[in-house]
Every structure is written in structure tokens, then in C-alpha cells.
């Protein structure tokens, strides 16, 4: 059985944690996207997950990223093995939300 924790509190004061403030560090460049299909193998991303994508974060090898390819968005690991001249980095996945 898992351990139950008290309601999470903001680290800087005693107020309840604001999930938006917790997830979004760069409001002007952060977007939420609903996943269609499963994510890259081993990523743990599933259909219906809501991805938190930050366009201001620099992608590193192995990062889960959103790429544009032929006018469509796709989720892949960086760098993508099928990068083409028609694909470009759109943003870096920094978190996800899942209902179950």
C-alpha cells in the first residue's frame, strides 16, 4: 500500500499548492496539448494525456519534444531519427497530466 501524504503546500509559504504555478514556469511560452495516440516508446505517454509543453526550454538529447512536420505536430524523442528538412522543434515536454 502506498504512503499517503498531507495536502501539498507551496514551498515558500503555507498556502495550498497551485497546480498551474507548479507546472508552468514560463507562462508566455507554455502550452497544454492533448495526446492523440501513444507517445514515443519508453516515454510513458499515453493517449489522452495532457502534455505540458514549454517552447522556451532547450531540448537535450533524450528529451521528449513536440516537432512540426509537414504542418502537423508529433511527439518524439530528441533528436528524432527521422528528422527531415521539413521538420522543426516546436517545444519541449516538461510534464503531463493524466486522469484515471
What is the pairing mode between strands 30-34 and 50-54?
Answer: antiparallel
Cα 51 to Cα 73: distance, rounded to the nearest angstrom: 13
Domains, the chain:
26-97 (2.10.109.10)
Mean pLDDT over residues 9-28, rounded? Answer: 83
Mean pLDDT over residues 32-59, rounded? Answer: 97
Nearest to 6 by CA among 17, 20, 19: 17
- Contact criterion met (CB below 8 Å) for 54 and 94: yes
Percent of the chain topping pLDDT 90: 66
pLDDT single digits (tens) 68-83:
998 899 999 998 766 5
- Contact criterion met (CB below 8 Å) for 65 and 59: yes
Amino acid at each position: 500500500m502506498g504512503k499517503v501524504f498531507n495536502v501539498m503546500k507551496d514551498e515558500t509559504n503555507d498556502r495550498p499548492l497551485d497546480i498551474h504555478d507548479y507546472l508552468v514556469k514560463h507562462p508566455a511560452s507554455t502550452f497544454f496539448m492533448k495526446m492523440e495516440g501513444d507517445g514515443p516508446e519508453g516515454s510513458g505517454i499515453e493517449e489522452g494525456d495532457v502534455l505540458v509543453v514549454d517552447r522556451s526550454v532547450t531540448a537535450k538529447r533524450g528529451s521528449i519534444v513536440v516537432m512540426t512536420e509537414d504542418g502537423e505536430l508529433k511527439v518524439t524523442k530528441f533528436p528524432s531519427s527521422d528528422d527531415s528538412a521539413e521538420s522543426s522543434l516546436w517545444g519541449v515536454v516538461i510534464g503531463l497530466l493524466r486522469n484515471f
